[in-house]
Amino acid sequence: MQKVVRLALMSFALLWAFSCHTQQKPFVKKIDKATVQSEVIGKDVQLVDVRTPGEYKQGHIDDAVNFNVNDEGFVKQIETLDKTKPVYLYCKMGGRSNRAAELLKSKGFTQIFDYTGGYDDWSSKD
């Protein structure tokens, strides 16, 4: 009987340990220009420009989609993204993308990368 109980407890412990590893804790990570260049540009990623359509038309990073965080349809737009894959966000300088990142996190996205320098940093000559 003790063997059966011990085996059951070990099985439960293993099951619990593996179930904890499959659920990823949501995070928002601040990234810089070098990270965008190495991990985003030319890659098949979810890159979202959260600025206004006018700002987007004046220039944007790589093949970013434009979901204006100030638009009432923003939440509906982000629902078209895959919550299980990384999402990279940027705005003009970092304020709106930070707000968007927190919104994505609250909607169940787990891997959110916020380019804090934004388009101003991206388009600057350095």
Q: pLDDT tens-digit profile of 69-106?
A: 999 999 999 999 999 999 999 999 989 999 999 999 99
* Class of CATH domain 25-123: alpha beta
Greater model confidence, 17 or 38: 38
Q: Could you tell me how many helices (H) and strands (E) the chain has, helices first? A: 6, 5
pLDDT of residue 20: 47
Under 8 Å between Cβ of 100 and 70 = no
3-state secondary structure 28-48: EEEECHHHHHHHCCCCCCEEE
20 an active-site residue? Answer: no
Which residue ranges make up each domain of the chain? 25-123
Please give the mean pLDDT across all residues of the chain.
88
Which one from 91, 100, 104, 112 is the annotated catalytic residue? 91
